[in-house]
Structure 1
Amino acid sequence: MNPRAKSAGPGRAGRRSLSAQQTIPYVEMLKDGICRVREGFYTKTISYEDINYSVASSEDQSAIFDGWCGFLNYFDSALPFQLSFINHRSRGGSRYKVNIPMAHDDFDSIRGEYVDMLKRQIARSNNGIVRSKYITFGVPADGLETARPRLERVSSDIMGNFKKLGAHSRVLNGRERLEVLHGQMHPGGREPFRFSWPDIVKTGMGTKDFIAPDSFDFTAARTFRLGRFWGAASYLQIMASELSDKLLLELLELDAEMTVTLHVQTVDQLKAIKMTKGKISDIDKMKVEEQKKAVRAGYDMEILPPDLITYSKDAAALLADLQSRNERMFLLTFTVVNIAPTRQKLENDVFTISGIAQKYNCALKRLDWQQEQGFTSSLVLGDNAIEIQRGMTTSSTAIFIPFMTKELRMDGAALYYGMNALSNNVIMADRKRLKNPNGLFLGTPGSGKSFAAKREIVNVFLSLPDDDIIIADPEGEYYPLVNRLGGQVVRLSPSATAGTFINPMDINPNYADDEDPLSLKSDFILSLCELIVGGRSGLAPVEKTVIDRCVRTIYRPYLADPAPERMPILQDLYDELLKQSEPEARRVASAL
C-alpha cells in the first residue's frame, strides 16, 4: 500500500513527499494511545462529552465559564494542548435507524404510520453529522519511559477537571486514535476502519498504511484534494475587542464536514509580564516622541493619536490582569478545515463560515500555500505546523467554550421523545436505563401533553412488547387507544353499574420482598380505616390494636389455603370487628 501524494509550494521548502504516509506527521502510535509525534515529543488524546451550557441559566453559565478558565490555567508552558472539534458524516447516513419491523398482525397499519413519522423526523435532524470533541496534549521527554508517567499524571488531572465541570471523559487507546485519524482522512464515512494490532505482524504494514487515504494533492494554493474529496484549510483572524461565546457554537452547528482546531501554547507567567511591560515601555516611548513633535510644532502636547491612547489603555489593563487577577497568557492558533465532495460545496461551506466569523468581527483567512500544514495541524495528533498565533488571556481564550448541549441519544430499544431544540437532533432514550427513570409531561393547556403521552404509549407498545402499560384514566380519553391496541379496559365507579370492584383486602404473598406481607397489609388497612374514621386525632391506640388483631384473624384461613375464592373482603373485616368485645371495635365497624 503506497498511496500517492503531491506536494508543492513554499510551505514545503521544495520537498516532495513520496507517499501519503509521509504527510501524516507522527513517528509511532502505541497500543496504550501514546503517540511519538517526533523525537522527544509524545502526545495523548482524551475524548469528552458535552454538557448543558447553552440552555443553562446565567448563574450556571458563569460557573461553567469560571470552571473552564481554571481548566485552561492548569496547563503550563511545557504542556501545549490542542482542542479538536470534528464534524463528520457517519457511515450509512443517519446514525439512527427505525428498528420497528413489521409483525404481520393486526397492528401493521399502526406500525407503518409510526415508522413513516420516525423516518421523517430522523431525516429532518442533523444525525447524519456526528460531532466529536477531543483534547490532545503533549510533553517533551527523552524517551517513552520518561514520557509515560508524565502523560498518565496529566491524563488523570485533565479527567478530574472534566469531572468537576460535569463532563464525562475517557482516554483513547491506540486503536481508537487511529480510528479518529482514519475518519479525518476518509470523509463521507464510506470506508470502514479495519485494523487490529496483529494485522501489523501479519501484513508487515505500519499503522499509517491503515489510515492513509488514496492520495493527497496539495499543489493548489487555496485548496487540496483528499482522495475524491475537496478540502480547504483556513485560520480565524481575531480582530474583535470582545468575543462572544456563540461564535464556536454557531460554527459547530453547521451541517458540514469540518474540523475546528485550537492549538494553545501557554506563555510562562514571568515572561508574559516582562513582555507586557516591554510593550508598555515602547508605547510610553512613542508618547514622548509624539509630545516632542507637538512642542516643536507649537500645539498642545496632550493631543496624542487615538490609536496610541487605545494601545496604552489595553496594555495597562493586560498587565493588571496578569499581575492581580488569575489570568495567564496564551498563544492561540485557530484553524478551520472544510471537506466537501465537490469544489462548489466546499466554497459554499467556507463562505458560510466566513459570514459567521464576520458577524462576530473576525475574519476567516485562507492559508495560501499552507494547505498541507493546515490539514496536518488539524489531525488529532497535537502537532501545530502553522505559525500564526494570537496572544490572548485566560478569559479571552475561555470564551471559545467547547460545550453546547448534552445529547440524549441512546442506542438499542430507545424511544422517540422529540427533537433537541438547540442541536436539532432526535432525542432517543430508554428511561429505564437513566439514573432516574421517572418522567413528567409539563406544559400549558393545549400544548400537547396528552398527545405526547399517547405517542409514548404507542412507541412502547410497538418497540417494547414485553413491557406492561398501565393507564389511570379519570377522564376516559385513553380507552379508544387501548381498545385499538387490544388492551383491557377496567371501568371503576362508585355505583354498581360499572360491574367492577376493587378489593382492598387483596394480598399477594410475593409483593413484600423480605418483609412480612401480612404486616404490610395490616398497615394499609390501618391507613384506610384512619381515613374513613377521620377526625382530628384519627384512630385511637385501642382501635389500632383491634383492627390489627382482626386483620390477622381473617387472613388466617386464606394463608392456610391460598385459594382465590378464600380471599378476605371488607365484609369479613366488618363481621370480625362486630365479634370483638371492645366498644372501639363497634365504632370502627359503624364507620365502615
Structure 2
Amino acid sequence: MTILDRTERLRVLSHLLRPHQPFLFDEQEFLPNKRLRTQDYIAPWSITTTTSDGPLELLNSGDKTFHDTLWVRDYPVWLSDRLISELTDIKADITASLHLEPYDQAEGKELLDRQIAEIDMQLINERKKAKKQGYDQDQIPQSLQDAAEEAKELRDELRESNQKVFSSVLVIGISAPTADQLAQYTKRVRTLIRRQSCVAERTAYMQRDALTTELPLGIRALPMRRTLTTASAAVIVPFTTQEVFQPGGVHYGYNQQSRNAVCIDRLKNANQNGFILGASGQGKGMAGKNEIFNLRTNRADDDIIIIDPEQEYEPLVNALKGAVVRIHPSSENRLNPLDIDLEDTTMGDPIAVKAQDVINMLRSLIGGHDGLTSTQVSVLDRCTVEMYRRYAADGGKVPTLADLRARLLDEDTEDATRLADSLEIYTSGSLNAFSRLTNVNVDNRLVSYDISGLGPELRTFGMMVILNQIWQRVARNKRNGRRTWIYVDEFHVLFNDKYAATFFKDLYKRLRKYGGGITGITQDVEELLESADARLMLSNSSFLYLLGQSDTNAETLTQMLALSEQQSKWITNVKPGTGLIRTGSALVPVDGEIPRDSRLFQLYNTDVED
C-alpha cells in the first residue's frame, strides 16, 4: 500500500474521469494561481446517463467514455483471497473500491443481536405460514436457515476472538470507449465474481452515487451495506499478489502467483539481518548459497564470511575463488579468542568491551549447567583487564587463553585456581584448538570457516570465537567504508546455551550500525523456537525466508508472524525450493527451485543421492 500525495490522487481521479486527456496539474504552478481549483484539472466536460438506469457517459474533448458500476451484494461463508487479484487479470479499465467502517465491539454485538432477532422473527413467520397452509413447520427456505446459522456462528466467533465487525461496500467500476465493449467487460466481470461464489449487481438508478463511491475520495454515497469481520475484510483487501523487484537486488526465484521475478535488495530494509529457515531437504542450504553467489557476483567490494559446520560451502567458495579456513584441534589454522582491536572505540573502551566478550565466551565454555559464580566473573574480569592494560602499554604479543590461565594461577585463590583447572584441557589438553595466537590472515573478500572438525565440546565456543573474530573485521570494514555479510549455518546451536544466545543477540544488534548483516540458517526450527530470544529476533527480522516446514512448525510460525491461512499454505507440504519471503512489510510466495541440470545446482547441491 502506498499513501498518495495530492498530485498523485489527482492523477488517479483524472484517469478515471478524463481517461484520454493529458494530466496537466502542476503543484508549483497551481499554488500561486487563485483562479483555478483542483476540480478544474480532473472533472469531465459532462456526465450523463444513457438511459434512466443505464451506464454513465463521460464526455471530454473529442471523446466519450462509457462507465458502469457494480456492487458486491453477497459473499460466501468462506471467501477466497483471489477475488480482487483475478479482477486485475481482465484486460479492461477496471477500478475496485472497498469502503470499511469499523463498529466498536459493543456496536458490533448489538448489530448481530438485532440481525439474529430479525431472522428469528422471519423463521417464526415462515413456520406460521407453513402451518396455516398445512405443511411441515420445519419446511422453511434453506437460505433463511443458512442466514440464521451464519449469524449465530459469527456471533460466537466474535465472542471467542478479537475480531471486529465492519460495515462495508465493495464497488467495481468498468470503463470502455463504446457501450457494446462496456457490456462485454461487465459480463466478464460478473462471471468472474460469480465463480468466486459472490453475487454482484448493477447500481441501477444510482450510477452517479456509485461513481462518487468508486472514486478515491473516501465518500460512501451508496446506501447499501454489507457486514464483514476482520478476517473477511483482510482477505478482500487488495492486492493479494505482492511484487518485489528491486534493481540490483538478489534474484530469489519467481513469484508463485504471478510468475514475475523476485529480486530483493536487503540494504533497503531497516537492517541487513535475516534468517533462512526450512525443514531438512527443503532447500534452505541452496537458498543461502544462491544468495551468497548473487552477492559475490553483484557486490564485489563487499566482504562475505561463512561459518560452515557441515563442510557444505567449500565447492561454492572454491568456485568463486574464496578462501576456506579449517578450524579443528589438529588444524594448522589458529584463532585466538583473546584477539583485540585497540583502535575500535566505537563501543566505548575496547578493553572493557573485549573483557565482557571473553567472559561471555568462557561462561559458555567452562560455566557448566550452573554458570560461573559472581566471584569467578569478577576474577576473570580483573585478570583479563590487567592483561589487556599491560598489552596496551607495553605492546608485545596479544594475550592468549594460555596466558589467561597462567594469570589466574598467579592469583592463588580458590576461585581463580578452579577457573585455571577448568581451562587446562582447552590450553594444553586435547581440546586446545583455540589456545594459541591467530595465524590466519585472510584478505579474501569471501571466507568460509569450516568447523566440521569441531566436536560438540567446542562447537558452540568455536562459533562464538569465530563470530568475535568476524566482529573485529566488521569494525575494520566500517572504518574503511566496506560492507560485511555474515552467514551462520546451523545457528540454532548458539541458542542451546544462554550465554552464546546472548552473545549472538548482542552481535545481531551491533551489526546494524556497522554496515554489517548476519543471516542465520537452520533446519532445526522447532529447537530454535523454544528460545524466547530467537522468537523475538525472528518476529522482528527485516528479512525472513521460510521454506517448507513441518505442520507443527508451520502452525507456530503462522501464529508468531501473524500469517494468513493462505500465506501459511505456502510453507506447508510444499516442494523443495519453494516458500515464503518476508522482506520489510512485503510477503511474497517464491519458487526458488534451481534446475538440476544447471552448473549452479551442482555447486549448491549437498544431497548425495543427486
Give TM-score scaled by structure 1 length. Answer: 0.49
Give TM-score scaled by structure 2 length. Answer: 0.48
